[in-house]
Structure 1
Amino acid sequence: MALFGFSFPLVFLLLSCFTTLLLCNANAFPGHYHNPIQRHRHPRFASHNYRDALTKSILFFEGQRSGKLPSNQRISWRRDSGLSDGSALHVDLVGGYYDAGDNVKFGFPMAFTTTMLSWSVIEFGGLMKGELQNAKEAIRWATDYLLKATAHPGTIRYVGDANKDHACWERPEDMDTPRSVFKIDQNTPGSEVAAETAAALAAASLVFRRSDRTYSKLLARRAISVFEFADKHRGAYSTGLRKYVCPFYCDYSGYQDELLWAAAWLQKATKNPTYLNYIQANGQILGAAEFDNTFGWDNKHVGARILLSKAFLIQKVRSLHDYKGHADSFICSIIPGASYSSAQYTPGGLLFKMNDSNMQYVTSTSFLLLSYAKYLTTARQVVNCGGTAITPKRLRAIAKRQVDYLLGDNPLKMSYMVGYGPRYPQRIHHRGSSLPSIAAHPAKIQCSSGFSVMRSQSPNPNILVGAVIGGPDQHDRFPDQRSDYEQSEPATYINAPLVGTLAYLAHSFGQM
């Protein structure tokens, strides 16, 4: 049979090739549904090199590593540290990350960092190209440690006495403060830490599902057991361990949000109806409907709502319909000028939540806006804010504006990512960055000797490339003072959600 002058076998061959090309293109984006991102490239000129920022945002995590550093370590001024962590209790707790500018390995923020790095890869990993492997290595550095911290059933451990650590200003390689090990168990419960750890392990299991199935299954099994412990032995870790964790990472929002958040991740990772039933039975008790528009290491309600709304919008889990409404309420609270908007912005346009490490809320909110825009686009829906339709395009524009501010489009023309752009903070609140490296100064720097450097006006000798710091105040002011930890300290949980956001922006502007 001939069709328009072509034989049927030839037509069939051409159609087969075309279909194969379409399938290959679809497979470039991991997931179980159509990924709408490719339809939203921005033809106009990009205001920033988002690809460069993405590379640096991931590189930052290598500067926060604790333990035996690998041969391919790229931040070369760092050396091995914390090699005896856990030995006080005859357990191996070597590895993981220092959460910020000190030398403590708090479990709560490290777990949240891991969850958000994993979510970044789950949503936007298909756009990262050469940076995907680096992002996965950053996740694995954390999950390897979390597996150690949860190796004994019914117990979760973390390392470092913050009060004693903060009495010193020394390099992690020189630490001589007690590497005390603290734990939560049935006698000293910590449901928020345990549930966040379960969320991190469950989310990471999805990241490694295709590339390392054995490791993925290990993470999922551990997530299940840790969640059972969190739910069975309910209590706040900032009660039993208050003098060690407060005011540093005191739990102010309660542990209910982490239980809902962890159940949402386990439902996504395992597809076990047990977790969907748990969410349906306990959602209201755990605060699913409570109004909140803050998402960070302490409060996960908003993140859980966005994640569960995805199950409703994309997987068509009808029983989660209410979470679409809860997610929409959050969106309406963020949109400037929208009905029910309650968010505060600086005169320069930066979302402002609080003085202490405000940039963490900027990066986490921007990630949620882009992720929700992705879900809405796939489901062909919008957000209704008091009769005004808020489109996915609007959400993407707001997220981009926040990232552009962070990268230098602000009244001070200052990039708040170290090492990005012509002007960035020179005196960040970070021990390892501010003191001479081991290569430059092999002799030990004693506990209190470093404070003269901390108080000085000299620039940090070691550039912690990719570190995003707390950022400016509500008036767009930034003093660049090392002693000002609220504005000048970096943290892993600031960078983690930014990784996914930058991957989207780099792809959208044709930089990947």
Structure 2
Amino acid sequence: YNYAEVLEKSILFYEAQRSGKLPANNRIPWRGDSALSDKGSNGEDLTGGWYDAGDNVKFNFPMAWSTTVLTWGLIQWKDAYEKTGQLNHMYDSIKWPLDYLLKCHTKSNELYVQVGDGHTDHASWTSPERMSGNRPAFKIDTSHGGADVAMETAAALAAGSIAFKTKDSAYSHKLLTQGKSVYQFAKKSNDKYSVSVHAAAAYYKSSNVTDELTWGALWLYKATGDKSYLAEAEKHHESGAAWGFSWDEKTAGNNMLFYEITKKDTYKKDLIDTFNAWLPGGKLKYTPKCLAFRLEWGALRYAANTALIALMAADHGINSDLYRKWALSQINYALGDAGRSYVVGFGKNPPEKPHHRASSCPLTPAPCGWTAQRNPGPNPHTLYGALVGGPGKNDDYADDRKDYTKNEVACDYNAGFQSAVAGEVQTHFFLYFDS
């Protein structure tokens, strides 16, 4: 497979998810300015960021996680982006949500965490450009907690500060300053944000906050070298094998960062125990064509996210050959090893009808509504690089726009996937590019 092409197209997917006033160098011809009136309760500017998935809501919890994970891949495998000619595009890509997350920290003890209401948004089928009026914005503060989303935001800002250190030192400093501020705010609340922000509960409800408390502290430690952050991370960390790695479950990522920082055997053991469960012969079921199958809703993201951690572990000398081979098998499943591509606009028989409002709507002034969702033909616009949810447990899949379980796309679906592809490029394919 042409992994450089996958990297390029995944970045294009994130450009297609942009909200706000698009820049002069916008590369998605069918996208325009949208949601320009997104504001906080006191008129604060909350424009920008990414639309979450096939809808038009900005959910900061998965957005911030996606930003952290994409940035982690850039930090770890910067050469992959450089060699493939994607480095500047990648900096642009992560700066879009980072700029938005900076805006959301409106006061030292206040953080906006969502713009748009899921129920209202999902009751219609329209493109972002066609939306009008003001959308509700939801925040956490001293009386409405949310340690999970705040810590994830702090992690994203800290990761961004590392990535931009050599690119733009002033911006890096700004990200770190705000990251520290969000972190201090997050420490004052052990609540899940879904308790305060009921609008998020049906969509992105956190299981617990301890993994985020650890994750946020680890990223602040990586950005600063201040050992007090590492001590706080160790205080909150729950050891053991991880369920997986996702916007909700950070334990595998925590174990990886802990091992990278400390080289302690206890973290290495937890990583190995996690992969023992995930690799063939472990607890996890596999589809007949060899996809590690954690959950049906967005099955490919869980395999790709765990593949990312496997490549990170391999880079740090843990069962390197075995984990690299397994990670490649999971990424290649998504790219076509199972007989078809699950990445829009790439490879053999890719999805043509992803559950995605913007790409399914014709250009204005033509109307867009549920008829666009029911259109039996391909989406009028190709959503290059988007990883769809993926197959069922028997490799069963239909390219059906109405199927949001298997055929929706999302910012968090592509995050671990793209970073893993960057890892594959750097590990296996530089000989190919050099030649």
Superposed displacement of residue 333, structure 1? 1.5
Superposed displacement of residue 505, structure 1? 2.4
Per-residue Cα deviation, 1:311-366 (whole angstroms, up to 9, x for no partner): 123xxxxxx442222222212212212xxx21221111111111111121122111
Task: Give 4+ residue runs of structure 1 displaced > 3 Å after superposition.
Answer: none
The one of 322, 329, 334 aligned to 2:273? 329
Count of residue correspondences: 428
Superposed displacement of residue 279, structure 1? 2.4
Q: What does 1:224-303 align with in structure 2 at a 5 Å threshold?
A: 224-242=180-198, 244-251=199-206, 253-283=207-237, 287=238, 289-303=239-253
Larger radius of gyration: 1
Tell me, in whole angstroms, the C-alpha distance in 2 between the residues paired with 1:455 and 1:91. 37
Superposed displacement of residue 234, structure 1? 1.7
Q: Kindly, what percent of the aligned residue pairs are identical?
A: 40
The one of 115, 121, 128 aligned to 2:81? 128
Q: Secondary structure at the match of 1:479?
A: coil
Q: Say yes or no: does 1:408 pair with 2:342.
A: no
The residue aligned with 1:83 is 36
Q: Say yes or no: does 1:435 pair with 2:391.
A: no
Distance change (3 Å), C-alpha of 1:422 and 1:324: closer
Tell me, in whole angstroms, the C-alpha distance in 2 between the residues paired with 1:300 and 1:184. 21
Q: Say yes or no: does 1:222 pair with 2:222.
A: no
The AA in structure 2 aligned to 1:271 is: G
The residue aligned with 2:371 is 452
Tell me, in whole angstroms, the C-alpha distance in 1 between the residues paired with 2:231 and 2:391. 43
Instruction: Point out where structure 2 has 5 or more consecutive residues left out of the alignment.
Output: none
Tell me, in whole angstroms, the C-alpha distance in 2 between the residues paired with 1:366 and 1:290. 18
Tell me, in whole angstroms, the C-alpha distance in 2 between the residues paired with 1:275 and 1:322. 19
The one of 372, 375, 378 aligned to 2:316? 375
The AA in structure 2 aligned to 1:186 is: T
Per-residue Cα deviation, 1:76-101 (whole angstroms, up to 9, x for no partner): 11001011111653000010000101
Tell me, in whole angstroms, the C-alpha distance in 2 between the residues paired with 1:89 and 1:463. 38
Tell me, in whole angstroms, the C-alpha distance in 2 between the residues paired with 1:458 and 1:96. 30
Superposed displacement of residue 232, structure 1? 1.3
The one of 165, 170, 177 aligned to 2:121? 165
Superposed displacement of residue 282, structure 1? 3.3
Contact 1:164 1:177 in 2 (8 A): no
The residue aligned with 2:4 is 51
Superposed displacement of residue 155, structure 1? 1.1
Superposed displacement of residue 504, structure 1? 2.9
The residue aligned with 2:100 is 145
Contact 1:125 1:500 in 2 (8 A): no
The residue aligned with 1:494 is 413
Distance change (3 Å), C-alpha of 1:87 and 1:259: closer
The AA in structure 2 aligned to 1:416 is: Y
Tell me, in whole angstroms, the C-alpha distance in 2 between the residues paired with 1:486 and 1:144. 30
Tell me, in whole angstroms, the C-alpha distance in 1 between the residues paired with 2:33 and 2:236. 44
The one of 173, 180, 196 aligned to 2:136? 180
Distance change (3 Å), C-alpha of 1:79 and 1:511: farther
Per-residue Cα deviation, 1:471-506 (whole angstroms, up to 9, x for no partner): 111110111111110111111111122222222323
Q: Say yes or no: does 1:95 pair with 2:45.
A: no
Q: Say yes or no: does 1:193 pair with 2:121.
A: no
The residue aligned with 1:312 is 262
Tell me, in whole angstroms, the C-alpha distance in 1 between the residues paired with 2:343 and 2:174. 35
Q: Secondary structure at the match of 2:96?
A: helix
Q: Secondary structure at the match of 1:333?
A: helix
Contact 2:301 2:417 in 1 (8 A): no
The residue aligned with 1:71 is 24
Q: Secondary structure at the match of 1:500?
A: helix
Q: What does 1:470-485 align with in structure 2 at a 5 Å threshold?
A: 470-485=389-404
Q: Secondary structure at the match of 2:406?
A: helix
Tell me, in whole angstroms, the C-alpha distance in 2 between the residues paired with 1:176 and 1:353. 39
Q: Secondary structure at the match of 1:89?
A: coil
Tell me, in whole angstroms, the C-alpha distance in 1 between the residues paired with 2:90 and 2:34. 22
Contact 1:49 1:506 in 2 (8 A): no
Q: Say yes or no: does 1:469 pair with 2:388.
A: yes
Contact 2:126 2:361 in 1 (8 A): yes
Tell me, in whole angstroms, the C-alpha distance in 2 between the residues paired with 1:109 and 1:87. 20
Instruction: Point out where structure 1 has 5 or more consecutive residues left out of the alignment.
Output: 1-47, 314-319, 377-381, 383-390
Per-residue Cα deviation, 1:66-121 (whole angstroms, up to 9, x for no partner): 01111111111100101111165300001000010100000101100110111010
Tell me, in whole angstroms, the C-alpha distance in 2 between the residues paired with 1:321 and 1:294. 20
Q: Secondary structure at the match of 1:495?
A: helix
The residue aligned with 1:3 is none
Tell me, in whole angstroms, the C-alpha distance in 1 between the residues paired with 2:329 and 2:235. 39
Per-residue Cα deviation, 1:14-46 (whole angstroms, up to 9, x for no partner): xxxxxxxxxxxxxxxxxxxxxxxxxxxxxxxxx
The residue aligned with 2:159 is 203
Distance change (3 Å), C-alpha of 1:74 and 1:432: same
The residue aligned with 2:348 is 422
Contact 1:165 1:177 in 2 (8 A): no
Q: What does 1:323-402 align with in structure 2 at a 5 Å threshold?
A: 323-337=267-281, 341-376=282-317, 382=318, 391-402=319-330
TM-score w.r.t. the length of structure 1 is: 0.81
